[in-house]
C-alpha cells in the first residue's frame, strides 16, 4: 500500500495525469488538441531551461537559440529529404547538442550577468540570420509545408508528443538523482566548495549546458512538426523570455515547475486572448505578483498554503541509516616518511601597496598537527588561499610531496590529496546534511558522470558517508536540510566534508570559530585524531587550544614568519608576545593624565545586546555605557565579535535582543543613515573609501553643516591636501585611513567608531594617525576597536575586553595597562591561568 | 559613393548617441540597484507617447514635460514594486521588469491602439541640410545636438553635483553611502527615476525618427544592452565609445550588407566579450559576476 502511495507521488506520473486530464477535457469540449500538444512541448522546453536554472544555477536569457535552431534544422531536413518525422527529430536534437557544446565551451568561462547576456546575444544572432537568410530560412515568412507523414493526424501526433515528453521528463528525473545531477546541485549551491572537493566545475557546467541544448532542441523540433512550419519569432528576445517566464512562474526549485508554468501560461494566454487583444494587461500583473509575493512560483505557493514548503528538484529522502555505522577510519593516503607533505618556498603575495606575504617558507611534516597563528591581518588566510590554489602566488613555489603544484588549479590540487575547510562556512545549503557529505565521498571517487542510476543506491558511498557523519556527531540529523541546522552543527558539517576525500594534507581555517564550548571539544579531539594519519595545517584563534593540541606552531605577523617551533618555545618567544600584545608603537604618547572620571552625561547606553549572522550568535548580553567625549578601547582577540558590535551599533546588523540608547532615546531598529545623522560615525575596517571618487569628492559626499571644514581636515592630515584630487583607488593604505577618518569628521559627529585603525599601516603612518586621534580626543567620544592592547591603552580613558561574544572586562585603561597578567589572560597567547 | 557613406556615418553617429543615452540610464540603474531593467524599452515608448499626446493638446513647448513625467512614473514604479526586490534572487528582478515591459506595451496598445502612428517633427525642423557631400534631415541634426548636450550635461551632473557623487559612490558600496548619513531608499527611487527620465528623453527624440508604436522600445533596448556590455558595465566612457562603435558598425553594415546591421552589433559584442571579459572599460565588480 505504502509503495503504491509512493509511486503515485512520482512527478512523472503526476505530469502524465495532468496532461491526460487536460487532453480529455479539451477533447470533451471539442477544442483543438494542439493547444495541449503545445503545453507538453513547452513543458519539455521549460524542463530543459530549468536543468540550467534550477539545478545548475545559471540563468540563460537566450535558451531559445536551441529551440529555434533545432526547429529550422528539422524543417529544412524534412523538406529537402522528405524523411520521416523521427529522423527529423533525431537530426535536430543532435544539431542542438553540438551547438550547445560549441556555445557552452565558448561562454561558460563567463559568469553571472555576462553569461546571461552572451546567451542572449547568440539567440539574437540566430534570430537575425533566420530573419534575413531568406533562401534557406524563408526569411520573415518562415518555412511552411513541413511534411509530417508519421502521426499525420493531430490526435496521433498529440499522443506521440505527450509520450515523448513524459519519457524526457522521466529521464530528467533519473538524471537529477544520478551522480551527475547531484553534482550539478552541489555546484549550484557552492561552486568554490565543489572545486575544493575535486569537482571540475567547468566540465560539469559544460555537460549540463550541452544537455540543455539537446532537450530544448528536441522540443523545438516537436514544435516545428506540430505547426508543420517554422518561424523566426521564437528566436527573438521577447519570446526567448517565455520559457524562462513559464519556469519561474511554475517554480524553478520544483521539478514540475515547468509543467505548472506551461499550463498556466498557455491556457491563460488562450483564454485571455479570446477576451481581449491586450491580454498582457491582465497577465503581466499576475506574473509580477508572483515575482513579488511567491518567489517559489505556483507550486511554492501551494506548498506554502499547505505549510510544507520544500524544494522538489529531487526526492526529499535519504538512504536508510544502517543499523550499525562503521566507525570512521581516517582514510589518509600513504604518506612517505621523511618528505614534507607540503612545502612552501619563498611564497609571496601583495595586494597593491599591501604586502601580505613576504617570501614565506613553511614545511608541513606528515602525521603532525601544525598550527599557523598570528594576529588579525597577518596574512594567514591569504597564505591558505595560495596553498589551495584559490589565489595565484606573486612569487615562490609550492610543493605537494615534492611535486610542484604552484600553477595547478584548485580541483587538481584537491585530487592530489589536499583537502580544506573554510573560515567562512562553506557547505551546500540547499542539500540535506547527508547529501552534503555524500557528495564529498562521491567526488572523492572521481566518477562524476553517472547519468541514470540513482546515486543513493551506491552502498559503498553511503556507508562511507554515514561513517563520516557519525564521526562528527551528525548522524542523527542526516535527513535535515542543512539550512535548518544551528551554526555549530554547520561547522561540524563543514569539517565532515573536508574528511570525505582521501587526503594527505588537511588545511583547516578556523574550524572552531563560532562553536559552543562542548562542540569545540568534539572538534578539537577529532582534529587531533586526524593528525595521526594526515598532515594537518591549522589556522585557529583559540590560542589556548592551539597550544595544547599542536605539535608545531608557526607564527605569521604582517606577512612574515616570525617564529616556528614547538608550542612552548613559540609561546615564550618575545617577538610573538609583542606581536600579540603589541609593543608600544614608538611610545611617544604619554598616558592620559588625571584620570578624573568624566562627569559628562552618557551618550551611548547599550544593554543586553545580542547579535549574529544567519542564526549564529556572535554577541550576547553585552552592556556598555559611554559618556560624551569619552575615549574607549574595545579590545579582544580576533573573532570575538568586535566588528559585529560595531555593525549592531551603526544599524547595518539588526540586533536579536537588547537595546541601544543614544543621548537618552532608543535607536534600536533605526536605519544606518538615521543613526549616522544622529551623530555616530564609523571608520570601518578596510577603510571602504570610494575608489572611483577623488579624495575631495569622498569628503564632500560625507560633509554636513556643522562638521569640520576642509581647511581643518587638511591641517590635521596635510598629506590629504596634496592628494585631494587623486582617486581613492590610487591612495596608499595610510592615505585611505586618513580619508576614512576625515570622512567621519566632516559631519557633526559626537561619537566616532574606529575599527582596527592601525591595521596594515607602516609604523610612521601609524604614528601620524595616532597623533590625529590624540588631537580629536575630548572634542568627541571615541570607540577604538583593536586587538593590540598596548597600541591603544595609552590613548583612551577606558577599556573593554570582549571574550567570545561577552564583555569580560570593563574598567580603567590604566588598570588594564598596569596588569600584564590580566592582559595576557584576556588577549594574549599564554594559556589561561599561567 | 563617398557622400553616401559619409551620410550613413552621420546617421550611425546619431543612432549611436541615442543608444548611449538609453544605455546610460540602464547602466546607472543596474550599477546602483543591481536590477537589470528589461522595462527600460517600455519607458522609451511611454516617453514617446506622452510627448505626442502633449504636443497634440498643448503644443510643442509642452513636450519637455514628457521625460519628466516618464521619470515620475519610474519613481512610482520603484517605490511600489522594484523596492521589494533588493537583495533577493536576481532572477526575480528580471521577471518583474520583463512583466512590467509587457504590461506597459499592452497598456499603450489599449490606450492608443496598436498601429504605428506618425509623429512629425515640428515645422522649423522639417527641412533638409546639404553640407558638402553629406545629406541630412534637419531633425536628425537637431537630435544629434540635443543628445550630445544631454549626455554632456548628465556627465557633468554625475561629476560635479552632490547627487551625482552619491550615484557614483553608491554603485561601488551602497551600504557605506548609507553609513555616511545619506538616505538610501530615497536615493534608489531617485536613481530609478533619473534612468527612466533619460529613457523618456530618448523616447521623445526617437518618436519622429522611428514611427510610434507600443513595441518601439524593443528595438532600442537590445542595442542598449549590447552597448553596456561592450563598454563595460558601469563605465560612462565605455558606454559612449561602445555606442558610437555600434552606431557606426550598424550604419556601415546597412551600406554594404543591408539586412545584417542588427546582427553586426551582436557579433561585435561577442568578439569584445570573449577577448575582454569585462568589456572595453569595465572593471572587476563582484555584483556582475
Q: What is the pLDDT of residues A235-294, one digit of tens each?
A: 877 777 888 889 999 999 999 999 999 999 999 988 888 888 788 888 889 888 988 888
B286 touches chain A (CB under 8 A): no
Give the nearest partner residue to A672 out of B91, B178, B259, using CB atoms: B178
B3 touches chain A (CB under 8 A): no
pLDDT tens, residue by residue, A97-150: 999 999 999 888 877 778 888 888 888 889 888 988 888 888 888 888 888 888
pLDDT tens, residue by residue, B111-161: 988 888 888 888 788 788 887 777 788 888 899 999 999 999 999 998 899
d(CA A337, CA A335): 6
pLDDT tens, residue by residue, B28-45: 888 888 888 989 999 999
Does the pLDDT at position A588 exceed 50?
A: no
The backbone torsions φ and ψ at residue A394, rounded to the nearest 5 degrees and listed phi first, read -85, -20
Contact A285 B95 (CB under 8 A): no
Does the pLDDT at position A376 exceed 50?
A: yes
Residue A702: the pLDDT is 92
Average pLDDT over residues A651-666: 89
pLDDT interval class at A582 (50, 70, 90)? low
A309 touches chain B (CB under 8 A): no
Contact A132 B259 (CB under 8 A): yes
Contact B162 A120 (CB under 8 A): no
Residue A595: the pLDDT is 44
Give the nearest partner residue to B92 out of A106, A295, A747, using CB atoms: A295
A295 touches chain B (CB under 8 A): yes
Tell me how many residue pairs between chain A and chain B have CB atoms under 8 A apart.
Answer: 175
Average pLDDT over residues A402-416: 87
In chain B, residues with a C-beta closer than 8 Å to the C-beta of A680 are none
How far away is chain B from the Cα of A68, in angstroms, using its nearest Cα?
16
Domain residue spans of chain B: 2-288
How far away is chain A from the Cα of B74, in angstroms, using its nearest Cα?
16
Contact B85 A121 (CB under 8 A): no
How far away is chain B from the Cα of A683, in angstroms, using its nearest Cα?
10
- Closest among B37, B41, B65 to B52, alpha carbons compared: B65
Give the nearest partner residue to A237 out of B109, B222, B273, using CB atoms: B222
In chain B, residues with a C-beta closer than 8 Å to the C-beta of A653 are none
Cα-Cα-Cα-Cα dihedral of B99, B103, B109, B112, to 10°? -140
DSSP A55: I
In chain A, residues with a C-beta closer than 8 Å to the C-beta of B155 are none
A285 touches chain B (CB under 8 A): yes
In chain B, residues with a C-beta closer than 8 Å to the C-beta of A61 are 94
Residue A615: the pLDDT is 63
More confident residue, A761 or A396: A396
- Closest among A39, A26, A33 to A269, alpha carbons compared: A39
d(CA A332, CA B234): 49
d(CA A761, CA A377): 11
CATH code for residues A8-305: 1.10.3470
Does the pLDDT at position A760 exceed 80?
A: no
Does the pLDDT at position A586 exceed 50?
A: no
User: What is the three-class DSSP state of B128?
Assistant: strand
Contact A114 B95 (CB under 8 A): no
Give the nearest partner residue to B95 out of A114, A122, A245, using CB atoms: A245
Contact A128 B175 (CB under 8 A): no
Contact A677 B270 (CB under 8 A): no
**Among the ranges given (A33-37, A83-87, B125-129), the one the predictor scored with the smallest mean pLDDT:** B125-129
CATH code for residues A629-656+669-827: 3.40.50.300
pTM given for the model: 0.84
CB A680 within 8 A of CB A750: yes
Residue A598: the pLDDT is 57
A518 touches chain B (CB under 8 A): no
Scanning every residue of chain B, which has its alpha carbon at the shortest distance from the alpha carbon of A125? B263
Average pLDDT over residues A647-663: 90
Contact A118 B270 (CB under 8 A): yes
Contacting A residues, span 53-112, partner chain B, CB-CB under 8 Å: 53, 59, 61, 106-107, 109-112
Does the pLDDT at position A516 exceed 70?
A: no
pLDDT interval class at A594 (50, 70, 90)? very low
Residue showing cell 555616530: A680
- Closest among A241, A124, A235 to B263, alpha carbons compared: A124
d(CA A745, CA A772): 11
Contact B182 A288 (CB under 8 A): no
Average pLDDT over residues A768-779: 86
In chain B, residues with a C-beta closer than 8 Å to the C-beta of A278 are 106-107, 109-110
CB A829 within 8 A of CB A812: no
A682 touches chain B (CB under 8 A): yes
Tell me how crowded residue B254 is: count the other CB atoms within 10 A of its CB. 17
Contact B100 A288 (CB under 8 A): yes
Does the pLDDT at position A355 exceed 90?
A: no
Domain residue spans of chain A: 8-305, 340-417+503-580, 426-502, 629-656+669-827
Residue B1: the pLDDT is 65
ipTM of the complex: 0.88
Scanning every residue of chain A, which has its alpha carbon at the shortest distance from the alpha carbon of B266? A121
Contact B270 A684 (CB under 8 A): no
d(CA A742, CA A819): 34
**Among the ranges given (A552-566, B193-207, B246-260), the one the predictor scored with the smallest mean pLDDT:** B246-260
A128 touches chain B (CB under 8 A): yes
The backbone torsions φ and ψ at residue A452, rounded to the nearest 5 degrees and listed phi first, read -125, -50
d(CA A534, CA A548): 18
Where residue A397 falls (left for φ over 0; alpha for ψ -120 to 50; beta otherwise) is beta
- Closest among A351, A365, A66, A385 to A221, alpha carbons compared: A66
pLDDT interval class at B107 (50, 70, 90)? very high
Does the pLDDT at position A620 exceed 70?
A: yes
Contact A671 B184 (CB under 8 A): yes
Residue showing cell 530573419: A131
Residue B75: the pLDDT is 96
Q: How is residue A442 written as a grid cell?
A: 562521491
Residue A685: the pLDDT is 86
User: What is chain A's alpha carbon radius of gyration, rounded to the nearest angstrom?
Assistant: 32
Residue A137: the pLDDT is 86
d(CA B144, CA B151): 11
Burial status of residue A748 (CB atoms within 10 A of its CB: 0-12, 13-18, 19 or more): middle
pLDDT tens, residue by residue, A737-748: 999 999 999 999
Tell me how crowded residue A588 is: count the other CB atoms within 10 A of its CB. 11
Residue A618: the pLDDT is 79
In chain A, residues with a C-beta closer than 8 Å to the C-beta of B263 are 124-125, 128-129, 132
Scanning every residue of chain B, which has its alpha carbon at the shortest distance from the alpha carbon of A697? B165
pLDDT interval class at A448 (50, 70, 90)? low
The DSSP string of A231-244 is -GGGGSHHHHHHHH
Instruction: Of A511-515, A520-524, A828-832, give the range with the top mean pLDDT.
Output: A520-524
Contact A692 B168 (CB under 8 A): yes
Fold match flag (A8-305 vs A629-656+669-827): no
B79 touches chain A (CB under 8 A): no
d(CA A86, CA A780): 81
pLDDT tens, residue by residue, A194-250: 988 888 899 999 999 999 999 999 999 999 999 999 998 888 777 778 888 899 999
Optimal mutation site among B98, B107, B115, B181, interface A, most CBs of chain A within 10 A: B181
Q: CATH classification of A340-417+503-580 is 3.40.50.300, yes or no?
A: yes
Integer distance in angstroms from the first to the last C-alpha of chain A? Answer: 67
In chain B, residues with a C-beta closer than 8 Å to the C-beta of A291 are 85, 92, 95-96, 99
A676 touches chain B (CB under 8 A): yes
In chain A, residues with a C-beta closer than 8 Å to the C-beta of B273 are 110, 114, 117-118, 121
d(CA A127, CA A232): 6
Contact B229 A117 (CB under 8 A): yes
Residue A581: the pLDDT is 61
Scanning every residue of chain A, which has its alpha carbon at the shortest distance from the alpha carbon of B187? A673
Q: Which CATH number fits domain B2-288: 1.10.3470, 1.10.287, 1.10.3480, 3.30.750?
A: 1.10.3470
How far away is chain B from the Cα of A137, in angstroms, using its nearest Cα?
14
Contact A690 B103 (CB under 8 A): no
The DSSP string of B60-75 is GGGGGHHHHHHHHHHH
Residue A310: the pLDDT is 84
Instruction: Of A259-273, A326-340, A530-544, A586-600, give the range with the top mean pLDDT.
Output: A259-273
CA angle A233, A237, A243 (to 5 degrees): 85
Contacting A residues, span 158-187, partner chain B, CB-CB under 8 Å: none
Residue A247: the pLDDT is 92
How far away is chain B from the Cα of A107, in angstroms, using its nearest Cα?
8
Q: Are strands A354-364 and A369-373 parallel, antiparallel or unpaired?
A: unpaired
A237 touches chain B (CB under 8 A): yes
Give every strand in the sheet of A602-611, ordered side by side: A619-627, A602-611, A657-662, A665-666
In chain A, residues with a C-beta closer than 8 Å to the C-beta of B184 are 671-673
In chain A, residues with a C-beta closer than 8 Å to the C-beta of B166 are 701
Output the CA torsion sign for A119, A121, A123, A125. Answer: negative
d(CA A814, CA A796): 9
pLDDT, chain A, mean: 86
Q: How is residue A753 written as a grid cell?
A: 567608531
Give the nearest partner residue to A281 out of B88, B96, B110, using CB atoms: B110
pLDDT tens, residue by residue, A461-508: 999 999 999 888 888 999 988 877 877 788 888 888 888 877 888 888
More confident residue, A41 or A569: A41
Contact B99 A652 (CB under 8 A): no
Amino acid at each position: 500500500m505504502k509503495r503504491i502511495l509512493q509511486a503515485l507521488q512520482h512527478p512523472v506520473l503526476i505530469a502524465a495525469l495532468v496532461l491526460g486530464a487536460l487532453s480529455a477535457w479539451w477533447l470533451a469540449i471539442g477544442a483543438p488538441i494542439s493547444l495541449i500538444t503545445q503545453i507538453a512541448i513547452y513543458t519539455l522546453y521549460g524542463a530543459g531551461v530549468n536543468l540550467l536554472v534550477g539545478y545548475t544555477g545559471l540563468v540563460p536569457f537566450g535558451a531559445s537559440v536551441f529551440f529555434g535552431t533545432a526547429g529550422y534544422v528539422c524543417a529544412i531536413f524534412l523538406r529537402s529529404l522528405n524523411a520521416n518525422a523521427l529522423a527529423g527529430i533525431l537530426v535536430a536534437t543532435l544539431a542542438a547538442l553540438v551547438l550547445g557544446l560549441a556555445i557552452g565551451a565558448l561562454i561558460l568561462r563567463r559568469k553571472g550577468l555576462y553569461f546571461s547576456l552572451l546567451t542572449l546575444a547568440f539567440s539574437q544572432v540566430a534570430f537575425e540570420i533566420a530573419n534575413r537568410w531568406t533562401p534557406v530560412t524563408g526569411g520573415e515568412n518562415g518555412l511552411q509545408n513541413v511534411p509530417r507523414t508519421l502521426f499525420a493526424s493531430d490526435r496521433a501526433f498529440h499522443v506521440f508528443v505527450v509520450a515523448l515528453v513524459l519519457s524526457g521528463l522521466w529521464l530528467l528525473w533519473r538524471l537529477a538523482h544520478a551522480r551527475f545531477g547531484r553534482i550539478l546541485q552541489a555546484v549550484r549551491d557552492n561552486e568554490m566548495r565543489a572545486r575544493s572537493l575535486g569537482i571540475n566545475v567547468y566540465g560539469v557546467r559544460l555537460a549540463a549546458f550541452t544537455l540543455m541544448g539537446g532537450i530544448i532542441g528536441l522540443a523545438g523540433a516537436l514544435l516545428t512538426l506540430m505547426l508543420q512550419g517554422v518561424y523566426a519569432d521564437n528566436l527573438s528576445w521577447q519570446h526567448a523570455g517565455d520559457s524562462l517566464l513559464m519556469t519561474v512562474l511554475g517554480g524553478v526549485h520544483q521539478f514540475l515547475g515547468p509543467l505548472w508554468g506551461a499550463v498556466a501560461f498557455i491556457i491563460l494566454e488562450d483564454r485571455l486572448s479570446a477576451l481581449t487583444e491586450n491580454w498582457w494587461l491582465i497577465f503581466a500583473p499576475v506574473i509580477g505578483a508572483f515575482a513579488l509575493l511567491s518567489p517559489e512560483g505556483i507550486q511554492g505557493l501551494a506548498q506554502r498554503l499547505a505549510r510544507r514548503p520544500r524544494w522538489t528538484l529531487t526526492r526529499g529522502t535519504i538512504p536508510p541509516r544502517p543499523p550499525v555505522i562503521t566507525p570512521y577510519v581516517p582514510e589518509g593516503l600513504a604518506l612517505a616518511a621523511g618528505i614534507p607533505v607540503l612545502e612552501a618556498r619563498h611564497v609571496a603575495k601583495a595586494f597593491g601597496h599591501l604586502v601580505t606575504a613576504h617570501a614565506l617558507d613553511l614545511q608541513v611534516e606528515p602525521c603532525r598537527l601544525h598550527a599557523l597563528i598570528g594576529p588579525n591581518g597577518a596574512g594567514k588566510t591569504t597564505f591558505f588561499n595560495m596553498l589551495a590554489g584559490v589565489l595565484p602566488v606573486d612569487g615562490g613555489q609550492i610543493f605537494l610531496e615534492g611535486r610542484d603544484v604552484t600553477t595547478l588549479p584548485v580541483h587538481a590540487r584537491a585530487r592530489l590529496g589536499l583537502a580544506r575547510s573554510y573560515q567562512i562556512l562553506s557547505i551546500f545549503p540547499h542539500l540535506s546534511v547527508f547529501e552534503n557529505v555524500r557528495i564529498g565521498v562521491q567526488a572523492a571517487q572521481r566518477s562524476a558522470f553517472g547519468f541514470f542510476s540513482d546515486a543513493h543506491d551506491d552502498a559503498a558511498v553511503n556507508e562511507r558517508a554515514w561513517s563520516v557523519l557519525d564521526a562528527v556527531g551528525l548522524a542523527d540529523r542526516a535527513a535535515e536540510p542543512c539550512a535548518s541546522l544551528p551554526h555549530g552543527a554547520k561547522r561540524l558539517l563543514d569539517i565532515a566534508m573536508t574528511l570525505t576525500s582521501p587526503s594527505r594534507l588537511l588545511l583547516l581555517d578556523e574550524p572552531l570559530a563560532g562553536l559552543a564550548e562542548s562542540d569545540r571539544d568534539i572538534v578539537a579531539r577529532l582534529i587531533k585524531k586526524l593528525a595521526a594519519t594526515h598532515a594537518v595545517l591549522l589556522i585557529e584563534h583559540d590560542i589556548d587550544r592551539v597550544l595544547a593540541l599542536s605539535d608545531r606552531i608557526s607564527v605569521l605577523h604582517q606577512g612574515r614568519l616570525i617564529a616556528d617551533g614547538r608550542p612552548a618555545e613559540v609561546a615564550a618567544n618575545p617577538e610573538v608576545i609583542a606581536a600579540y600584545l603589541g609593543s608600544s608603537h614608538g611610545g611617544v604618547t604619554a598616558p592620559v593624565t588625571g584620570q578624573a572620571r568624566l562627569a559628562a552625561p552618557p551618550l551611548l547606553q547599550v544593554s543586553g545586546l545580542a547579535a549574529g549572522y544567519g542564526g549564529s550568535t556572535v554577541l550576547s548580553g553585552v552592556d556598555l555605557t559611554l559618556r560624551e567625549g569619552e575615549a574607549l578601547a574595545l579590545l579582544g582577540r580576533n573573532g570575538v565579535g568586535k566588528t559585529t558590535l560595531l555593525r549592531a551599533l551603526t544599524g547595518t546588523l539588526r540586533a536579536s535582543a537588547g537595546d541601544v540608547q543614544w543621548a537618552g532615546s532608543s535607536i534600536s531598529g533605526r536605519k544606518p543613515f538615521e543613526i549616522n545623522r544622529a551623530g555616530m560615525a564609523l571608520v570601518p575596517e578596510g577603510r571602504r573609501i570610494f575608489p572611483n571618487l577623488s579624495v575631495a569628492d569622498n569628503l564632500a559626499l560625507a560633509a554636513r553643516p556643522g562638521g569640520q571644514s576642509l581647511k581643518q581636515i587638511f591641517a590635521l592630515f596635510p598629506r590629504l591636501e596634496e592628494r585631494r584630487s587623486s582617486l581613492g583607488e590610487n591612495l596608499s593604505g595610510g592615505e585611505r585611513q586618513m580619508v576614512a577618518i576625515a570622512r567621519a569628521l566632516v559631519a557633526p559627529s559626537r561619537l566616532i567608531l574606529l575599527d582596527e585603525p592601525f591595521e596594515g599601516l607602516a609604523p610612521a603612518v601609524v604614528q601620524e594617525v595616532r597623533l590625529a586621534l590624540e588631537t580629536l580626543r575630548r572634542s568627541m567620544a571615541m570607540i577604538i576597536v583593536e586587538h593590540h592592547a598596548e597600541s591603544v591603552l595609552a590613548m583612551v580613558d577606558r577599556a573593554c575586553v570582549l571574550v567570545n561574544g561577552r564583555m569580560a572586562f570593563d574598567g580603567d585603561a590604566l588598570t588594564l595597562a598596569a596588569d600584564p597578567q590580566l592582559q595576557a589572560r584576556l588577549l594574549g597567547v599564554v594559556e589561561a591561568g599561567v | 559613393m563617398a557622400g553616401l557613406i559619409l551620410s550613413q556615418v552621420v546617421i550611425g553617429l546619431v543612432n549611436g548617441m541615442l543608444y548611449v543615452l538609453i544605455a546610460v540610464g540602464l547602466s546607472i540603474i543596474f550599477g546602483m540597484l543591481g536590477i537589470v531593467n528589461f522595462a527600460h524599452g517600455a519607458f522609451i515608448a511611454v516617453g514617446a507617447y506622452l510627448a505626442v499626446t502633449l504636443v497634440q493638446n498643448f503644443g510643442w513647448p509642452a513636450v519637455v514635460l514628457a521625460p519628466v513625467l516618464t521619470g515620475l512614473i519610474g519613481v512610482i514604479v520603484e517605490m511600489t514594486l522594484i523596492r521589494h526586490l533588493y537583495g533577493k534572487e536576481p532572477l526575480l528582478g528580471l521577471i518583474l521588469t520583463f512583466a512590467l515591459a509587457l504590461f506597459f506595451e499592452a497598456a499603450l496598445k489599449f490606450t492608443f491602439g496598436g498601429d504605428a502612428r506618425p509623429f512629425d517633427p515640428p515645422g522649423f525642423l522639417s527641412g533638409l541640410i546639404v553640407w558638402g557631400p553629406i545629406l541630412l534631415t534637419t531633425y536628425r541634426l537637431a537630435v544629434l545636438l540635443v543628445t550630445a548636450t544631454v549626455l554632456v550635461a548628465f556627465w557633468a551632473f554625475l561629476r560635479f553635483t552632490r547627487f551625482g557623487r552619491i550615484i557614483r559612490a553608491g554603485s561601488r558600496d551602497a551600504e557605506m553611502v548609507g553609513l555616511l548619513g545619506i538616505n538610501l531608499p530615497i536615493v534608489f527611487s531617485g536613481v530609478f527615476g533619473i534612468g527612466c527620465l533619460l529613457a523618456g528623453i530618448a523616447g521623445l527624440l526617437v518618436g519622429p525618427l522611428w514611427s510610434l508604436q507600443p513595441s518601439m522600445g524593443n528595438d532600442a533596448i537590445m542595442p542598449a544592452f549590447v552597448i553596456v556590455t561592450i563598454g563595460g558595465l558601469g563605465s560612462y566612457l565605455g558606454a559612449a565609445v561602445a555606442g558610437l562603435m555600434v552606431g557606426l558598425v550598424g550604419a556601415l553594415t546597412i551600406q554594404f550588407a543591408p539586412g545584417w546591421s542588427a546582427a553586426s552589433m551582436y557579433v561585435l559584442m561577442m568578439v569584445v566579450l570573449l577577448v575582454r571579459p569585462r568589456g572595453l572599460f569595465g572593471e572587476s565588480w563582484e555584483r556582475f559576476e
